Amino acid sequence: MHEKDFDVCVVGGCGHVGLPLAIAFARAGIDVVVFDVNPVAVESVNSGTMPFKEPQGPELLNEVRANGSLHASTDPSVVARSTAVVVVVGTPVDEHLNPDPHAVPLAVEQLAGHFREGQLLVLRSTVYPGVTRLVEEVVDRLGLGIDVAFCPERIAEGNAFTELYSLPQIVSGRTDSAVKRASELFSRLTSEIVVVSPEEAELAKLFTNTWRYIKFAAANQLYMIANEHGLDFERIRHAITYEYPRAADMPGPGFAAGPCLFKDTMQLAAFNNNNFTLGHASMMVNEGLPLYLVDRMERRFDLKNATVGILGMAFKAESDDIRSSLSYKLRRILRFKAGTVLCTDPYVTVDADLVPLDEVLERADILVVAAPHPEYRDLDPVQETIDVWNVLGRGVTV
């Protein structure tokens, strides 16, 4: 790639958070470079191909590639040639559900040789509370006068190019300069900026995802209660929510999964010395739903001699993202309990074990709708079907 300067470099920018942001900035007239260590994803972006499914993504990527406002590179030197650097590396949770608060500071340290005087450094992904301060300490040691801001992403997959423009942007920084520069940058996308302290912004992001996770757990627990008594929770939910604003936000039951909700709930628990009964209870309910469904199936069917078809392996509807998908937990349980397990998904392309939908419908004795893809709405299967999402409109009793 030719040597040039950029307005913004998005580090880790070929993923679900970074790439939509990079495209949105580029569409706003900002000269953007994406830095990513994944050469396949970088090549995909530079060829105008989205590495993952996101509505409007292919068209908008080709638009900004065609006008030359977005480039992608595996060369970290592009960091030095950028006025602002947006880091979308988040805080991971290990197999013991402990967050690693050093992951983001380490990523920043690894780029230390490429930072230069006067840049703006923006942390974008969810971070463990206190990580912004750790990054500030890393930057202070460089002695380069870099402004550090934390501006958490707020988009939902599948709605990136709507929500990047419509949602207010949370901006935080320790200095007036950091807040001013970050606000000016994100004002190119949205007209509303909400300014808080870095610690408040860190908790705002964790509280947002945890609140959603707890709401899903409440719905799943209520579903199980109704189901144990042979009652259809979807009919009950309709009665509760119909023309009744105070209950309008009650979600239906379903797999509460993906790369954020569970992880961020556990981060918040760790931050509060594991004193988070509501969060841990929500984890038990949501993570236990696949086990509950299989237990109910065992009561009803000769499961060990049955072929079970799982419809949908992505963690949410109309997505190809399988990260932390509970469909895979369901598959593991059924492979132990059932005779044969067949899986299908119209969007997922990274799982070689998937088979076509027609084959699943032909061979399966029992079906489980695990992801509420719209492609399943018009199905009329003859098999017994476990449909906790009520995609088929037959109710959710198991």
Helical segments of the chain, H only: 18-27, 39-46, 57-66, 103-110, 131-142, 160-166, 176-186, 198-228, 233-241, 261-271, 277-300, 326-337, 357-363
At 317 the three-state DSSP class reads coil
**Residue 102, token pair as written in the block:** 């050093």
Asked, for residue 214, whether it belongs to a domain, the answer is: yes
Give the Cα separation of 87 and 343 in Å (integer).
36
| pLDDT beyond 60 at 180 | yes
Give yes or no: residues 274 and 181 share one domain: no
Which domain-ending residue is among 200, 215, 248?
200
- DSSP code of residue 368: E
The H-or-E segment that residue 169 falls in is: strand 169-173
- DSSP code of residue 51: S
Asked, for residue 14, whether it belongs to a domain, the answer is: yes
**What is the mean predicted confidence (pLDDT) over 212-225?**
98
Give yes or no: residues 162 and 294 share one domain: no
Asked, for residue 226, whether it belongs to a domain, the answer is: yes
Percent of the chain with pLDDT over 90: 93
Q: Give tens-digit pLDDT for 345-385.
A: 999 999 999 999 999 999 999 999 999 999 999 999 999 99
Instruction: pLDDT band for 89, please (50, 70, 90 cuts).
Output: confident
Asked, for residue 393, whether it belongs to a domain, the answer is: no
Give yes or no: residues 125 and 148 share one domain: yes
**What is the mean predicted confidence (pLDDT) over 234-242?**
97
Asked, for residue 394, whether it belongs to a domain, the answer is: no
Q: Are 263 and 279 in contact (CB under 8 A)?
A: no
* Number of CB atoms found within 10 A of residue 371's CB: 28
Domain that holds residue 382: 207-386
Position 93 scores a pLDDT of 81
Q: Give tens-digit pLDDT for 125-175.
A: 899 999 999 999 999 999 999 999 999 999 999 999 999 999 999 999 999
Position 94 scores a pLDDT of 81
Q: Are 155 and 164 in contact (CB under 8 A)?
A: yes
Q: Which CATH number characterizes residue 371's domain?
A: 3.40.50.720
Asked, for residue 397, whether it belongs to a domain, the answer is: no
Asked, for residue 355, whether it belongs to a domain, the answer is: yes
| pLDDT beyond 70 at 1 | no
Asked, for residue 225, whether it belongs to a domain, the answer is: yes
Give yes or no: residues 299 and 171 share one domain: no
Least confident range from 93-97, 259-263, 322-326, 390-394: namely 93-97
Give yes or no: residues 10 and 61 share one domain: yes
Q: For the chain, how many structural domains are there in total? A: 2
Give yes or no: residues 110 and 221 share one domain: no
Percent of the chain with pLDDT over 70: 99
Give the Cα separation of 276 and 263 in Å (integer).
14
Nearest alpha carbon to residue 92 among 211, 212, 259, 210: 259
**What is the mean predicted confidence (pLDDT) over 78-94?**
91
| pLDDT beyond 50 at 303 | yes
- DSSP code of residue 38: -
* Number of CB atoms found within 10 A of residue 364's CB: 23
Q: Could you tell me the CA-to-CA distances from 330 to 218, 233, 295, 317, 325 in Å, in that order?
A: 20, 21, 11, 17, 9
**Residue 288, token pair as written in the block:** 């236990």
Largest CA distance in the chain: 69
Q: Give tens-digit pLDDT for 6-38.
A: 999 999 989 999 999 999 999 999 999 999 999
**Residue 220, token pair as written in the block:** 């799943």
| pLDDT beyond 60 at 203 | yes
**What is the mean predicted confidence (pLDDT) over 226-254?**
97
pLDDT higher at 66 or 3:
66
Which domain-ending residue is among 172, 200, 228?
200
What does 71-139 look like in DSSP terms, one character per residue?
Answer: EEES-GGGTTTEEEEEE-----B-TTS-B-TTHHHHHHHHTGGG--TT-EEEE-S---TTHHHHHHHHH
Give yes or no: residues 116 and 262 share one domain: no
Give yes or no: residues 196 and 215 share one domain: no
**Residue 244, token pair as written in the block:** 């009744």
Give yes or no: residues 185 and 220 share one domain: no
| Beta-strand pair 169-173/147-150 | antiparallel
To the nearest whole number, what is the mean pLDDT of the chain?
95
* Number of CB atoms found within 10 A of residue 316's CB: 19
| pLDDT beyond 60 at 2 | no
Give yes or no: residues 186 and 246 share one domain: no
**Residue 89, token pair as written in the block:** 């590396």
* Number of CB atoms found within 10 A of residue 106's CB: 13
| pLDDT beyond 80 at 196 | yes
Q: Are 103 and 89 in contact (CB under 8 A)?
A: yes
Which domain-ending residue is among 184, 200, 216?
200
**Residue 267, token pair as written in the block:** 């981060």
Q: Are 48 and 61 in contact (CB under 8 A)?
A: yes
Give yes or no: residues 212 and 192 share one domain: no
Give yes or no: residues 121 and 213 share one domain: no
